[in-house]
Amino acid sequence: MPLQVSDYSWQQTKTAVFLSLPLKGVCVRDTDVFCTENYLKVNFPPFLFEAFLYAPIDDESSKAKIGNDTVVFTLYKKEAAMWETLSVTGVDKEMMQRIREKSILQAQERAKEATEAKAAAKREDQKYALSVMMKIEEEERKKIEDMKENERIKATKELEAWKEYQRKAEEQKKIQKEEKLCQKEQQIKEERKKLKYKTSTRNSASRNLAPKWLHKQAEARRAMNTDIPELCDLKEEEKNPEWLKDKGNKLFATENYLAAINAYNLAIRLNNKMPLLYLNRAACHLKLKNLHKAIEDSSKKFCSLEGTERQASEPKLSHHIPCDLHVYIHMA
């Protein structure tokens, strides 16, 4: 059974009570203090101190200081008044037991309330921390979305700028291409004009400037065959322009265009008044893609028609001459 301690001292003011209790050499860590508004107990085995307080105190703000083998209590009164004694007098054992039990229940309820309050505070702290974390995450997510949106807008602008650049480049290329085509067409027109002018000038000069006696003399030389060395080795029948024209027609039919051109050349040197010789030679040049020579022979053919009457009985090579030559001559 614990030993009751009675050698304590106390003092008071209207608002506080100061209690000094010796520990009697007991270690501080073995001291247990229990205090409620009406009950104070200090257990330091084998000693025990109990005080059934004269009036209620504020046990939450009251303090206890242990040191130098002494426990010093500072108990704040709930009502400012002077106490007659520290403990109430005339208390029997049953009443003491009820006060003890009531104090324990109060302490348990307060501990429970404190635990619940602590748990509630902890939940509130967790809730607050969670809300703060969610807010931070929301801000981070919004920041990332804003960055993505800015990047998307930037990429869209760059793509639109690139498309605009490509479109302008394509337009510029198209304009340059059209300008080159126009220049090329203009050059072709100028070359055609120059060629037509050159051909007409040569033909007019041949018609107007050449003396008649010169034409007669050339015809006489062709008739005598004195100025054509290539005819020296030919037979007499092979010196006939008609025979050479037929020979050229046969070579044309066998697609030997170079040999046909040589035959027409000799025939023209013998007689340049036969329009079909120029026309047939133009057909050969057309097959060989010599367009300028084909045009030139066609022009000579028309010029030769001006000074020569067409014979109704004269054989033609129309079935040997491709239709595209007629169209080309007509267009020229």
Q: What is the mean pLDDT of residues 236-254?
A: 88
Q: Which residue has the higher pLDDT, 328 or 282?
A: 282
What average pLDDT score do residues 253-258 get?
Answer: 93
The rounded distance, in Å, linking the Cα atoms of 59 and 110 is 11
Percent of the chain with pLDDT over 90: 33
- Say whether pLDDT at 210 is over 70: no
Q: Who's near 271: CB < 8 A, 6+ residues apart?
A: 222, 241, 277
Q: What is residue 82's predicted lDDT score, i.e. its pLDDT?
A: 92
| 70 has a pLDDT exceeding 80 | yes
pLDDT category of residue 88 using cuts at 50, 70 and 90: confident
Q: Tell me: pLDDT of 317 over 50.
A: no
Question: Which of 103-117, 156-170, 222-236 is the least confident region?
Answer: 222-236
Listed by start position, the domains of the chain span 3-87, 241-309
**Distance between CA 327 and CA 294 in Å, rounded?**
12
The answer to whether 58 and 77 are in contact (CB under 8 A) is yes
How far apart (Å, rounded) are the C-alpha atoms in residues 136 and 130? 10
**234, pLDDT greater than 50:** yes
Q: What pTM, to 2 d.p., does this model score?
A: 0.39
- Tell me the per-residue pLDDT of 126-161, one tens digit each, with 9 for 90 and over: 999 999 999 999 999 999 999 999 999 999 999 999
CA 3/CA 297 separation, integer angstroms = 154
pLDDT tops 70 at residue 53: yes
Cis peptide before 275 (omega within 30 of 0): no
Q: Tell me: pLDDT of 200 over 80.
A: no
Domain 241-309 listed as CATH 1.25.40.10? yes
Residue closest to 296 by CA, chosen among 248, 255, 329: 329
Assess whether pLDDT exceeds 90 at residue 250. yes
CATH code, 3-87: 2.60.40.790
Q: What pLDDT score was predicted for residue 330?
A: 37
| Reported confidence tier of residue 302, pLDDT bands at 50, 70, 90 | low
Q: What is the 3-state secondary structure (H, E, C) of 195-243?
A: HHHHHHHHHHHHHHCCCHHHHHHHHHHHHHCCCCHHHCCCCCHHHCHHH
pLDDT of res. 305: 55
* Cβ-based neighbours of 72, under 8 Å, separated by 6 or more: 18, 19, 20, 21, 64, 65, 66
Rounded mean pLDDT of the chain?
A: 80
What is the rounded CA–CA span in Å between residue 103 and residue 44?
Answer: 19
> DSSP labels for 17-76?
EEEEEE-TT--GGG-EEEE-SSEEEEEETTEEEEEEBSS-B-TTT-EEEEETTEEEEEEE
Fold identical between 3-87 and 241-309? no
Q: How far is CA 319 from the centre of its chain?
A: 66
Residue % of the chain over a pLDDT of 70? 80
Q: What integer pLDDT is reported at residue 231 of this predicted model? A: 61
Lowest mean pLDDT among 8-17, 161-170, 301-310: 301-310
pLDDT in the model for residue 213: 44
pLDDT given at position 153: 94
What are the residues whose beta carbons fall under 8 Å from the beta carbon of 243, sequence distance 6 or more? 237
Q: Tokens 């026309």 label which residue?
A: 279
- Predicted local distance difference test score (pLDDT) of residue 278: 92
When pLDDT is averaged across residues 68-85 and rounded to a whole number, the result is: 89
- The yes-or-no verdict on residue 209 having pLDDT over 60 is no
In this prediction, residue 326 has a pLDDT band, given cuts at 50, 70 and 90, of very low
Q: What is the pLDDT of residue 324?
A: 41
Confidence of residue 315 (pLDDT cuts 50, 70, 90): very low
Q: Which residue has the higher pLDDT, 258 or 303?
A: 258
